[in-house]
Amino acid sequence: MRQHDRRWWRDSKVIPGETAAAQHHLLVADVVLREKVSRMERKGRSRIRWGNLKGTNITMFKDKVISTTTIHLVGDANRIWEDMAASITQVAKETLGSTTGRTNGNKESWWWNEDVQSKIKDKQRSLRDLLRCTNEGEHWRLREKYKNARREAKKAVTEAKKHSV
């Protein structure tokens, strides 16, 4: 396995005496694979707003965690860890809040008016010209043109979103 894939290995053993070729031996390994979470599943989950952990929320969070968590050092270490993590998560949701898991607004472009569409096309055209340019002097002029087109397109999209809501 590749070096970065070794984190999935749990246990491995080379079986001596079993050779497939002169320089190779049979390797038996326990590999734990995680199922990859798709982008849509990740978007639909509600998440804790850890960014709110500042100012007075820090002391409130700390006090609640200390008061609600009781450490029982009896039993399995995994069970102790799970209990502690569950209580911290619960306190974080109460103190910091959580997202709904839904995405904001309509991100489709079919509702854009002709002005926005023309400015987006101008931006794309100027980017294409910039990327194709090989002359150094011309490159800087096209770069400024692209920056202005990008700025205008962004303003037009913002205005269109403001008026559509």
pLDDT of residue 106: 57
When divided into structural domains, the chain yields a total of: 3
Over its length of 165 residues, how does the chain's per-residue pLDDT go in tens digits?
A: 677 777 788 888 888 776 667 777 788 888 887 777 666 666 677 889 999 999 889 999 999 988 887 766 677 888 888 888 888 999 999 999 988 877 665 556 666 788 898 999 999 999 999 999 888 889 999 999 999 999 999 999 888 888 776
The answer to whether residue 159 is domain-embedded is yes
pTM: 0.42
Instruction: Examine residue 125 and state whether it is found in any structural domain, yes or no.
Output: yes
Residue 63 belongs to what domain range? 46-96
Q: Please check whether residue 69 lies inside any domain of the structure.
A: yes
The answer to whether residue 109 is domain-embedded is: no
pLDDT value for 25:
79
Residues 121 and 152 in one domain: yes
103, part of any domain: no
Written as one letter, the residue type at 126 is S
Return the pLDDT at 103.
67
User: Is there a domain that residue 75 lies in?
Assistant: yes
CA distance 48 to 100: 10
How confident is the model at residue 125, as a pLDDT? 95
